[in-house]
A and B are shown apart, each in its own frame.
Chain A
Amino acid sequence: MYRALQIVLIALSLGLSALATGLRAQEDIHPLVDALGVGSFPQREAAIKALVASGNPKVGQILKQLSDGQLFVAEDGGPVLMSTGEDDPPVFLDPLTGETVADIDPDTMGKIRINNALRGLLGAISSQMTLLSPDRGARLTAAQGLLGNADPENLELLDTALAQEKDSEVKATMEAARAVIMLKTNASLAEKTAAIDTIAARGNRDALTILSTALQTAPDELKPVILRDMGAINRSLAVWDVAQNVSYGISLGSVLLLAAIGLAITFGVMGVINMAHGEMVMLGAYTTYVVQNAVRAYLPNLADYSLVLSVPAAFLFTGLVGLVIERSVIRFLYGRPLETLLATWGISLILQQAIRSVFGPTNREVSNPSWMSGAFEIGGLTLTWNRLWIVVFSLAVFFALLMLLKRSAFGLQMRAVTQNRRMASSMGIRTAWVDAFTFALGSGVAGMAGVALSQIDNVSPNLGQSYIIDSFMVVVFGGVGNLWGTLVGAFSLGILNKFLEPYAGAVLGKILVLVLIILFIQKRPRGLFALKGRAVEA
């Protein structure tokens, strides 16, 4: 009870801070601060409380320094001083004014220690003080802290805070915290029922935990209400769970789509099995790394947009590498798909080792730009910005490619060569030229995928290997020679994977997907969207 009273005092003093500080600012609290340095832990607790009761605006700062272990006192008593411990030799400051105090022998100074009880008290005080803080974010955090760790002693403080609160979200959190506290007190049944409804209205997992804890101690009359609300929450959570799984699946699907789409071009259009495809993705990721460092060095104010610059850079660079590979190796192996597979595997080993020699075997750091970090919530869904951008990016790449294939002269020639190479050739299309640029295009798209993957995966020489099998699965599942098949294949595999994960675990889920694809290929050897026509039987 004494403590509750104390808190009311704090609340009042802080709540009426305008007047209070005006009056008390003159009051010198140095003696109160110095009292922190002497005596046993219980005396220190009393000193802390006295300090808080003084209502001085600097109290928060002092207490923070105390809990951070920055306050020192000479072994034989005397003034409490502050040192951040960053300087060597240590510099001691006056904790209130921040002025340097000269001529202090560091050896005679000892840190003011606190034990767990004091640390808990400091934590509680700070959350109480921030509950009334002018900063909205601080109030929200404090309210959420109270929600997680509700203590009936905070009720009065919370009521004071609620009366002043204007912001609706903070207010809702505070009301929920108040409801949780109400359940713990011996308030009337009606009040408790109202409290349960307030909690249930939050409808998230925390509410469920709170209610199930409350269920154990609740009086019998309340139990049906709690159970009913828990059921409702569970149902809505189940719906959100499905939505969340779909969103994870779409996110995974977009990654698969990006990785597979370049392959869909080289494999689907040209029939070339490019085992070095994963390495093209890896090269794209390393291009991002190089561009990022170059931008940081030469155009520091554009650093946040280096990723945007990386996209064309990666496309051009990996496209060029692809062109070189096609001209130097692959063009000699057309019509021998199994040999192409081996040769491109060899190329992938060379590229991996080359990157390892140049950049080293360890992961390289590619930072997330500010506009891609963080997350936001829609109802019960949590979406991260980088995943969302990758979904957008993958779809943009997909539709750009689709337009290129369907609407440009180059696309027309490419489709002609796919459907009937000899006839296209006799119509005057330079098929060798089309092949070279198709391969370069496929490689360039893989490079762009690398830019996106650098944001969510480790940029290491092995980056490509982890995607190559998945990409092949997507292309084979979706059907060769059809970009729509790749789109459908990528998203259905992504979503399927994420739906299996909760039941089977991540690894087993992946194995199941592989097995399902293997079985699926038995049924439809040419994939979901197979090319129709006589070209099929080779």
Chain B
Amino acid sequence: MITAFLLRSLDRKIVIGIALLIALAILVPALNLLTAPTSALHIPTYIMSLFGKYLTYALLALALDLVWGFCGILSLGHGAFFALGGYAMGMYLMRQIGARGSYGNPILPDFMVFLNYKELPWFWYGFDHFWVAAIMVLLGPGLLAFVFGWFAFRSRVNGVYLSIITQAMTYALLLAFFRNDMGFGGNNGLTDFKDILGFNIQADGTRAVLFAATAIILAFCLMLASAIVRSKYGKVLIGVRDAESRVRFLGFRVENMKLFTFVVSAMMAGIAGALYVPQVGIINPGEFAPANSIEVVIWTAVGGRATLVGPIIGAILVNGGKTIFTGLFPEVWLFALGLLFVAVTLFLPKGIVGTFTQFWKTRREYRDEGVKEKAREQGIAEAAKSTEPQAAE
């Protein structure tokens, strides 16, 4: 039944996206592990990890698209959920170091020995088991999103007010995680990881598996998101985005619907963070910075809001551009990013995928027009009006 639910509502773009991701999940690790380093087809490990990082960003952007594109909640705090997921994974990886740290303490991570902790803080208990960490990756961000959303949606905080308080939320967490006595490594965060599930985290094989896992999880989340937005529930959700009061007057519990979507999205962001940490090798409070969360919004906007595939493309494009630009001309990157923000909002409000879809749709309609000669005059105007998704505000 669940499979049916997931499969029922796939459209062509989603199917192509999922197929591409699965192909990536097989091809890239294969090219990394099976070809000789001298071969032209060989993908070096660092490139693979870099793309693995982009895919985790893509998952984060997908999570944001779910709430922003389909629910009208512009969250400027999704970086917080990402970072919380990352910290949960980081705590597991810290516990895996065991006695191999520079202080050689079998229980306490290095930074705790350094800060004179006598025993493990209570919230670190259980993180030596992978399943506990895995649950916390979902539970941490999910719980925060639930509590936050419960208060926010119930009192009908919406629009820019919601954006601003989500930003305040991630800012507060940023300040909190910078504190040494929070027990999360303070300024330096968590790093120097050795093993994941008993495998060396630096090894090519582990990296390949992590990459494949990221691609497959991303494909799955894409499928899940697509199933959510194309279900009946998703149709109402779009109604909430475009005319919240009307949906409320029709008798739907708008705040519960928003809350559900927000929590699902936060969990996805948490998973993205958890996949990010082992591939990048560090998690620090900088991930909570409000600027990071806003950058996620621009990935989504570049790719195309409310398209699900778009944010994935946007995240990969923008971050690929960032890697290239900051390498070649570091001065120019912020100019480029800033201009991107302005240009996308002014000239490309639907993003790449949205504009592309629009273009094909108009062409198809134009072609159909030749066939249906009679409905020529009214046809275009009305069709364009009714099919075009309305802007949220």
Contacts and interface: CB of A to CB of B under 8 A. Distances in A.
Given A333-B345, A338-B393, A350 B167 contact: no
A469 B339 CA distance: 22
A337 B341 contact: no
A346 B168 contact: no
Contacts of A333: 345-346
Contact of B157 (A337, A522, A537): A522
Interface string B282-308: 000000001100100110010000000
Interface string B53-88: 000000000000000000000100000000000000
Contact of B152 (A347, A351, A515, A522): A522
Contacts of B179: 507-508
Given A347-B342, A507-B178, A341 B160 contact: yes
A271 to B, nearest CB: 8
Given A342-B298, A342-B345, A507-B175, A337 B334 contact: no
Given A342-B341, A343-B342, A469-B290, A514 B155 contact: no
Task: Indicate the member of B301, B345, B346, B392 with the most A CB atoms within 10 Å.
Answer: B345
Contact of B163 (A335, A338, A349): A338
B346 A332 contact: yes
B161 A476 contact: yes
Given A342-B301, A522-B152, A329 B342 contact: yes
A538 B155 contact: no
A495 to B, nearest CB: 19
B172 interface: yes
A299 interface: no
A514 B154 CA distance: 19
A348 B175 CA distance: 22
Nearest to A518: B165
A348 B338 contact: yes
Contact of A469 (B152, B171, B335, B392): B171
Contact of B168 (A342, A465, A517): A517
A148 interface: no
A472 interface: yes
Contacts of B159: 337-338, 538
A350 B331 CA distance: 11
A339 B349 contact: yes
A273 B290 contact: no
A469 B341 contact: no
Given A332-B346, A343-B345, A469 B338 contact: no
Contacts of B172: 510-511, 514-515, 518
A346 B160 contact: no
Task: Indicate the member of A275, A519, A521 with the most B CB atoms within 10 Å.
Answer: A521
Task: Indicate the member of B159, B160, B301, B393 with the most A CB atoms within 10 Å.
Answer: B160
Interface string B11-29: 0000000000000000000
A275 B84 CA distance: 25
Main SS of chain B's interface residues? helix
A337 B345 CA distance: 11
A472 B164 CA distance: 7
Contacts of A354: 335
Contacts of A511: 172, 175-176
Contacts of A476: 161, 164-165
Task: Indicate the member of A346, A517, A518 with the most B CB atoms within 10 Å.
Answer: A346
B157 A343 contact: no
A296 interface: no
B152 A342 contact: no
A340 B345 CA distance: 8
Contact of B341 (A335, A349, A537): A349
Contacts of B349: 339
Contacts of A205: none
Interface in B306-356: 331, 334-335, 337-342, 344-346, 349
B224 interface: no
A482 interface: no
A345 interface: yes
B135 to A, nearest CB: 26
A473 interface: yes
Contacts of A356: 331, 334
Contact of A514 (B163, B171, B341): B171
Contacts, number: 129
A46 to B, nearest CB: 51
Contacts of A352: 334
A342 B297 contact: yes
Nearest to B297: A342
A333 B245 CA distance: 23
A335 B160 CA distance: 12
Interface string A82-103: 0000000000000000000000
A518 B164 CA distance: 10
B391 interface: yes
B334 A353 contact: yes
Contact of A518 (B168, B297, B334, B344): B168
Contacts of B342: 329, 343, 346-347, 350
A514 B168 contact: yes
A119 interface: no
B171 A346 contact: no
B334 A349 contact: yes
Contacts of B156: 525
Contacts of B131: none
A353 B331 contact: yes
Contacts of B168: 469, 472-473, 514, 517-518
B157 A346 contact: no
Contacts of B345: 333, 336, 339-340, 342-343, 346
Interface string B351-393: 0000000000000000000000000000000000000000111
A175 B187 CA distance: 50
Contacts of A465: 291
Interface in B88-118: none
B151 interface: yes
A522 B155 contact: yes
Contacts of A275: 294
Nearest to A335: B393
Given A337-B393, A350-B334, A345 B164 contact: no
B33 interface: no
B391 A336 contact: yes
Given A514-B172, A522-B157, A525-B157, A346 B165 contact: no
Interface in B253-299: 290-291, 294, 297-298
B393 A336 contact: yes
A353 B335 contact: yes
Contacts of A521: 155, 157, 161, 165
B175 A341 contact: no
Contacts of B165: 476, 517-518, 521
Interface string A266-290: 0000000101000000000000000
A354 B335 CA distance: 8
Contacts of B167: 469, 472
Given A338-B393, A507-B175, A514-B168, A345 B161 contact: no
Given A510-B172, A521-B165, A537-B245, 20 more contacts: A273-B163, A273-B164, A338-B163, A338-B392, A339-B349, A340-B345, A341-B160, A342-B341, A345-B294, A346-B298, A346-B338, A349-B341, A356-B334, A472-B167, A476-B161, A514-B172, A515-B172, A518-B148, A521-B157, A522-B155
7 contacts: A341-B74, A347-B342, A353-B335, A511-B175, A517-B165, A518-B169, A522-B154
Ranked nearest first, the 10 interchain pairs of A and B with the lowest CB-CB distance are A346-B341, A349-B338, A350-B338, A353-B334, A514-B172, A522-B155, A346-B338, A343-B345, A346-B342, A339-B345
Interface of A: 273, 275, 329, 332-333, 335-343, 345-354, 356-357, 465, 469, 472-473, 476, 507-508, 510-511, 514-515, 517-519, 521-523, 525, 537-538
